[in-house]
Amino acid sequence: MMSFVWLLLTICYWIAGSALALIIAYLLLLTVAAFFARRVTPVRDQPTTRFAIMIPAHNEERLLPDLLANLNQLDYPRELYSIHVVADNCTDRTAAVATAHGAHVYERFDQTLRGKGYALEWLLQQIWQRNELYDAIVILDADSVVSANFLRVMDARLARGERVIQAYYTVRQPEDAWSAGIRAVALIVLHYLRPLGRMVLGGSTGLKGNGMVFAAEIVRRHRWTASLTEDIEYHMALILAGERAMFAPDAVVWAEMPDSLRAAQSQNERWERGRMEMVRHYVPILLREGIRRRSFLLIDAAIEQLIPPFSVVTGASILIALAAVALRDPAALVLAGFILGGQIVYILSGLILVRAPWPIYRSLLFTPFFLVWKLWLYARLALGIKPRDWIRTARNRS
């Protein structure tokens, strides 16, 4: 009986280990490709693109002024961009603050259609009704700031024919708390390393919800969605329609992240539930169409959705290593070494590529605590304890 159980455990190990090894091999492929990517965009001396910057804001009177002051100081001709804020179901002074900073302000009150997706679609309609000519639309979260060259980089990329562009979206002040540092590590590999690799291999960078730029005709033709992960769903619709999202690594958007795991809970639950919905709905479509069209872009997008989050892959790598030690099988130890070593190379490569400061490396020491919290979060989702609606994430300075 014991020999049968041992055999069963060995088979399970090799099935799980092989699946994880394939994921790590693919991440390493993207890692190697990332080092060959071009990371600087040649900008134009005389930019011409007219931008409408859209900011959805729900009770953001404390953080919105930072973004508006930041946008008013961009290295870009001021007459070529305008700022549009939708004060969405606000009960504070968000609208007044935005007006004081010279933004076009639109107040929206709708207790039925609540959330960022609805607010963005409504704001787009208000902008079109102004009958002002814009070449491109920028979407920024209210708790963000951007690099001074943001619009110059986007202008250059639009001028050379790019129609959907994602900036490098990362954590603002990640050194303030270890949880923010861990989140920064996750976003470095997810929002920087992997998009760089995809640009080299011919994939699509994906949309991250913040720091997105679209040629005006794109958002006129494709309506914004209102799902829990509206950015992912919009990206799926675009690539199925033949569009490719390009990555601008030198245009940066820094966003505030919760400085505690408790504050981040609702945001993470919303993201994970939305990601699961996207996997169920879009992965079969992407794989079918990718095979039919012989499109690496579509197949790669499906693979991206199937790759588990940073914390799951890391936790699984550790478990595989422990299982290999228990099995005392040299081949199993080699496989576990590849999985764990590959994960380390993948993470450190991302930190090297962005020239991460020392506090980001130091935050890796808290990875075990983060993994335990993530497992608890997934357990809640598996038990059906999950958000069905958009819930505003707690801000550190509110």
Q: What is the CATH number of the domain that holds 204?
A: 3.90.550.10
Tens-place pLDDT, residues 107-142: 999 888 888 889 999 999 999 988 888 999 999 999
Question: Is residue 86, in this structure, part of any structural domain at all?
Answer: yes
What tokens appear for 127 in the block? 């902008």
Residue 250 has pLDDT above 70, yes or no: yes
Question: Is residue 332, in this structure, part of any structural domain at all?
Answer: no
Residue 164 has pLDDT above 80, yes or no: yes
Question: Is residue 323, in this structure, part of any structural domain at all?
Answer: no
The average pLDDT across 251-260 equals: 83
pLDDT at residue number 382: 65
pLDDT at residue number 372: 80
Which residues span the domain enclosing 247? 51-279
- Mean of per-residue pLDDT scores for the chain: 88
The average pLDDT across 262-269 equals: 58
Tens-place pLDDT, residues 346-362: 999 999 999 999 989 98
Question: Is residue 387, in this structure, part of any structural domain at all?
Answer: no
What tokens appear for 10 in the block? 């060995």
SS3 per-residue string spanning the chain: CHHHHHHHHHHHHHHHHHHHHHHHHHHHHHHHHHCCCCCCCCCCCCCCCCEEEEEEECCCCCCHHHHHHHHCCCCCCHHHEEEEEEEECCCCCHHHHHHHCCCEEEEECCCCCCCHHHHHHHHHHHHHHCCCCCCEEEECCCCEEECCCHHHHHHHHHHCCCCEEEEEEEECCHHHCHHHHHHHHHHHHHHHHHHHHHHHHCCCCCCCCCCEEEEHHHHHHCCCCCCCCHHHHHHHHHHHCCCCEEEEEEEEEEECCCCCHHHHHHHHHHHHHHHHHHHHHHHHHHHHHHHHHCCHHHHHHHHHHHCCCHHHHHHHHHHHHHHHHHHCCHHHHHHHHHHHHHHHHHHHHHHHHCCCCHHHHHHHHHHHHHHHHHHHHHHHHHCCCCCCCCCCCCCCCC
Residue 385 has pLDDT above 60, yes or no: no
CB 255 within 8 A of CB 144: yes
The average pLDDT across 173-186 equals: 84
pLDDT at residue number 398: 45
pLDDT at residue number 143: 93
Between the alpha carbon of residue 349 and those of residues 32, 35, 312, 339, the distances in Å are 9, 9, 19, 15
pLDDT at residue number 371: 79
Q: How many domains does the chain have?
A: 1
Residue 328 has pLDDT above 60, yes or no: yes
d(CA 158, CA 163): 6
The average pLDDT across 60-88 equals: 96
Question: Is residue 344, in this structure, part of any structural domain at all?
Answer: no
pLDDT at residue number 243: 95
Please, which pLDDT band fits residue 395 given cuts at 50, 70 and 90? low
Please, which pLDDT band fits residue 383 given cuts at 50, 70 and 90? low
CB 366 within 8 A of CB 360: no
Q: List the beta bridge partners of residue 87.
A: 57, 107
Spell out the residues 6+ positions from residue 375 whose beta carbon is closer than 8 angstroms to its own: 315
Of 385 and 337, more confident: 337
Of 277 and 197, more confident: 197
Question: Is residue 329, in this structure, part of any structural domain at all?
Answer: no
The average pLDDT across 178-203 equals: 92
Question: Is residue 339, in this structure, part of any structural domain at all?
Answer: no
User: What is the share, in percent, of the chain residues with pLDDT greater than 70?
Assistant: 89
User: What is the share, in percent, of the chain residues with pLDDT greater than 90?
Assistant: 63
Question: Is residue 371, in this structure, part of any structural domain at all?
Answer: no
Please, which pLDDT band fits residue 65 given cuts at 50, 70 and 90? very high
| Candidate from 87-96, 243-252, 279-288 with smallest mean pLDDT | 279-288
Most confident of 29-38, 253-262, 307-316: 29-38
pLDDT at residue number 269: 60
pTM of this structure = 0.89
CB 180 within 8 A of CB 359: no
